[in-house]
Chain A
Amino acid sequence: MEIDVLKSFNNLLKERRIESILNTNSYTGKFSLQLTSEDALKILDRRIVTLKEQERVDFRGDVIDKLIFSFCDSCYIDQDNYVETLIGLQEIFYYYKNESLDECSDDELIKYMTICFNGVCQGSLENLYDTVLENFARDIRNRTKGFIGRYKEDE
């Protein structure tokens, strides 16, 4: 019973999040980036699909707001690729939350993603997803006690 309820919880938040996403326009306007209600809906629909794919439940749903504020000043994002980039970043974010075994916080991951996206990746989501964050997640897994094999040290 619980699993189904939890999955549906991701949908429940959708209505509440649209307004919050549209509110970011007042800040992103100075970077010539704007989202319409349709864009917000599209992003949130993809969010539900991503969460389902990654088997995660998001209780606050403010990750997209954080991604918008963190990436809006990137020179690699313009109005034409804004929505698709946000959707891509959102997918990468949830994927690497799992891959890093939840050992890094939302803010840490977003900050690292932003630095790499604007730096070494030069705006390439593929590079960010396939190479840079892969190394980042592997590094985290090797350091955490939750990673298989680490308990041997304690024995």
Chain B
Amino acid sequence: MSDEYAIDEIMPILSDLVDKFTSYDSSSVTLKRANSLMEAVIFTINAFYTSISNGTIIYKKPSAKIAYENGYDILCKRVANTRKKYNEIAIIFDDYGNNNYRDTFYKGISAFFMKYDVRFSPCETVITMDYPIIGNICNNGGIFTVEDYIEKIGLEQKFLSLLTKDFIYKVLNEYQADYRDQFYNICSIILRNVLIRCITNDQSTEIDVLKLEIFLKGHTITETKFILRTVLEKYINEKLGDKNKLYSYLSGDLENFASRLYINLENNCLDRILYIDKGWK
């Protein structure tokens, strides 16, 4: 990582970057600007070492300059790949009526590609990513964070495409009439409804809340979490074949979901988290 280099090795790179930044017009910059450019250098060198830890083999430790230049190329390629991935998802993307989902995907992410500066501020994420995804986003910053975000949105889209639009719209409307203007994750709401139908075997008829209540009372929270995981894995395997990424993304919601089920059970309001209708498949 960048810590492996002495400051004497880093400084010439920073100096070159400052020259590029000022177009050789100014020999000095503010401390704040110098600090942000220093962060850019360190981030780029770290990007190089991250790619090494992901499989590239090197036999000799490169100089800081080479690590920086390679890191820069890696970041550029990563941006290009992420843009490609984004364009692929954009073809199939459906916001299911949620304005925040649509704005974040179409306006927010495209603004990132317009404004992201690989050379001078690669660690900036630029956009706020208002649409919340399940679990945490990669916190490496810059393109790494946005790439992870796009990938997770792609996984959500893949999952949602397994269900009929009619079912999704009905569930969301039932969950909250003005879900279109809300800032929550819509995939999680659908996922929960799907899983409950799976564990109660209500595949073509209405969900029987009593049946669910009996199920929850007959299992501990740990057992329920395990069952939910198994059901989710089975569901994904049935629909898509072995999809580890999708499973690992969606399973991030199960911990919260199980807790929510038992809290609602205690308060006698299980129906509040479920949409009850028939013909969901």
Contact = CB atoms under 8 A, between A and B. Distances in A.
Interface in B1-19: 7, 11, 14-15, 18-19
A84 interface: no
A5 interface: yes
Interface string A108-145: 00000000000000000000000000000000000000
A62 B15 CA distance: 13
Contact of B14 (A59, A105, A107): A59
11 contacts: A2-B38, A6-B31, A57-B31, A59-B14, A59-B18, A59-B29, A97-B26, A102-B26, A105-B22, A106-B26, A106-B27
Q: Taking chain A's interface residues, is the majority helix, strand, or loop, or is none over half, making it mixed?
A: helix
B122 to A, nearest CB: 15
Nearest to B25: A105
Contacts of B265: none
Contact of B27 (A3, A9, A61): A61
Nearest to A9: B11
A19 interface: no
B61 interface: no
Interface string A48-89: 000100011111111100000000000000000000000000
Interface of A: 2-3, 5-7, 9, 12, 51, 55-63, 94, 97-98, 102, 105-107
Contacts of A60: 15, 19, 27
Given A5-B38, A6-B38, A58-B28, 18 more contacts: A2-B38, A3-B31, A5-B7, A6-B31, A55-B30, A56-B28, A56-B30, A57-B30, A59-B14, A60-B15, A94-B28, A97-B28, A102-B22, A102-B26, A102-B29, A105-B25, A106-B28, A107-B25
B39 interface: yes
B111 to A, nearest CB: 15
A106 B18 CA distance: 14
Most chain B CB neighbours (cut-off 10 Å) among A6, A7, A58 = A6
B160 interface: no
Contact of B30 (A59, A63, A102): A102
A59 B18 CA distance: 8
Interface of B: 7, 11, 14-15, 18-19, 22, 25-35, 38-39, 42
Contact of B28 (A2, A12, A57, A107): A57
Given A5-B7, A59-B18, A51 B34 contact: no
A55 B31 contact: yes
Given A5-B7, A9-B11, A57 B29 contact: yes
Contacts of A58: 27-28
A106 B28 CA distance: 9
Most chain A CB neighbours (cut-off 10 Å) among B30, B31, B32 = B31
Contacts of A3: 31, 35
B199 to A, nearest CB: 52
- Which 7 A-B pairs give the minimum distances between C-beta atoms? A105-B25, A60-B27, A58-B28, A57-B34, A59-B15, A55-B31, A2-B38
A63 B25 CA distance: 11
Given A2-B39, A59-B14, A105 B34 contact: no
Contacts of B31: 3, 6-7, 55-57
Contacts of B19: 59-60
Nearest to B42: A2
B28 A59 contact: yes
A106 B38 contact: no
Nearest to A12: B11
B267 to A, nearest CB: 47
Contacts of A56: 28-31
Contacts of A97: 26, 28
A6 B29 CA distance: 11
A5 B22 CA distance: 21
A5 B3 CA distance: 13
